[in-house]
Amino acid sequence: MGVIVWAIRLLKVRVAETSFQFKNKRPDRTYEWSPSTDFHADPMTRTLFTILMVLSSLSALSAMSACRDAPATQDSPSLSERSGPSVLVITAHPDDEAMFAATMYRVTHALGGDLHLALITDGAGGYRFSTLAEPLYGTSLTDEAVARTELPAIRKKELEAGGRIVGISQYFYLDQPDEGKTENADSVMKYVWDTDQIASRLDQILSEHSYDFIFTHLPIKPFHAHHKAATILALEAVNRMPPERRPIILGSFSTGGMDDVVAQFQQLEGFPVTAIRKDVGPWTFDRATPFGTDNRLHYGIIANWLISEHKSQGTMQLFMAGPNPGTERFWLYALNPSTAAEKATALFDAINAPPHPF
């Protein structure tokens, strides 16, 4: 066992010297040790990695034969002891985060990462879909005047209930008006939201935290303008950061709706900052990844748990319903540095790597 500890310590030092070290200052990342992150490491590191993997496998086999029901040993860090990537999700409305549900769960539960969420609007415009929640909350939520007063607080509670499932640890509420249902992102940024205020708040959030990745919605044309505007403002905020501090920013859209439009997306017309790289990606996580007894469980359960917390809503539930739980896909925006593709590959190799679910 002492040899394994030595190999781990030496490997940590070697890996820390490779270009795959994420910016977060904590040294005890476990997910960096996936084979893909090691792939471009130098020969000495590769050798150490191989030795460690062989010794770990022998040790695990020996432990399994001794006692198959034994709890995790001290060599397997518990969830609370792990430390992984730091991720910020930037969305327009409570329930938008459902599109990343399974990936967020893997980031926090499998990789031990930190997960924060910045919400641009107050969510009051969701009253149009609150019919089924009226008896549940005992108030006339489909009445716009009632909703404008009561819905923001209700939706924040729903968001945080879902956030507890996927492990969101911090929320930033920008409370912009949830008004003006349109596909025109320009009009939202000019006439509905206070974009200067959003920009300075995002700048503050990004300066006070050291994120490795930002997840946004892919700003496809036939999407609610709030979603597109939230992504544009997120990209512009990253562009204002000093290059050495910039997180890698990804655009996401899960399968199951508008797949043709998503496949053709290159950038939102009029907003070159939204251009994505078509030569790499998308990186994916399949919610149907199986685990559990007879492999009958999958991460669609997590996505369902999360979306079911948003009881004042309904359209995202309909989008996510069906026999196939779908695949969460992530594209790299072109403004990212050239090393971003390797880092995105490392992240998603780790997200997809067994064991499942943890």
Please report, as ranges, the residues that interact with Zn ion according to CB under 5 A: 93, 96
Q: DSSP string covering 246-304, please? A: PPEEEEE--SSSSHHHHHH-S--TT-GGG-B-SSS--EEEETT-EESGGG-EETHHHHH
What lies within 8 Å, CB to CB, of 109 at 6+ separation is: 79, 167, 357, 358
**Residue 291 or residue 319: which is nearer to Zn ion going by CB?**
319
Compute the least distance from the CB of residue 163 to Zn ion, in Å. Answer: 16
Characterize 230-244 residue by residue with b for buried, 16 or more Cβ atoms within 10 angstroms of its Cβ, and e for exposed. bbbbbbbbbeeeeee
326-328-329-330 Cα dihedral, nearest 10 degrees: 170
**Residue 155 or residue 287: which is nearer to Zn ion going by CB?**
155
**Residue least distant from Zn ion (Cβ):** 93
Compute the least distance from the CB of residue 180 to Zn ion, in Å. Answer: 13
**Residue 86 or residue 103: which is nearer to Zn ion going by CB?**
103
**Residue 93 or residue 155: which is nearer to Zn ion going by CB?**
93
Compute the least distance from the CB of residue 346 to Zn ion, in Å. Answer: 30
Compute the least distance from the CB of residue 174 to Zn ion, in Å. Answer: 14
Q: Is 307 helix (H, G, I), strand (E, B) or coil?
A: helix
Q: From the centroid of its chain, how far is CA 269?
A: 25
Burial of residue 68 (number of CB atoms within 10 Å: 0-12, 13-18, 19+):
exposed
**Residue 96 or residue 158: which is nearer to Zn ion going by CB?**
96
Compute the least distance from the CB of residue 154 to Zn ion, in Å. Answer: 16
What residues pair up with 353 in beta bridges, in sequence order? none
Q: In the sheet that 213-217 helps form, which strands lie side by side, from edge to edge?
A: 170-176, 114-121, 86-91, 213-217, 248-252, 327-332, 283-286
**Residue 96 or residue 309: which is nearer to Zn ion going by CB?**
96
Compute the least distance from the CB of residue 318 to Zn ion, in Å. Answer: 13
Between CA 39 and CA 238, with CA 115 as vertex, the angle to 5 degrees is 75
Tokens of 265: 């997306």
**Residue 96 or residue 212: which is nearer to Zn ion going by CB?**
96
**Residue 29 or residue 93: which is nearer to Zn ion going by CB?**
93
State whether the Cα torsion 199-201-203-206 is positive or negative.
Answer: negative
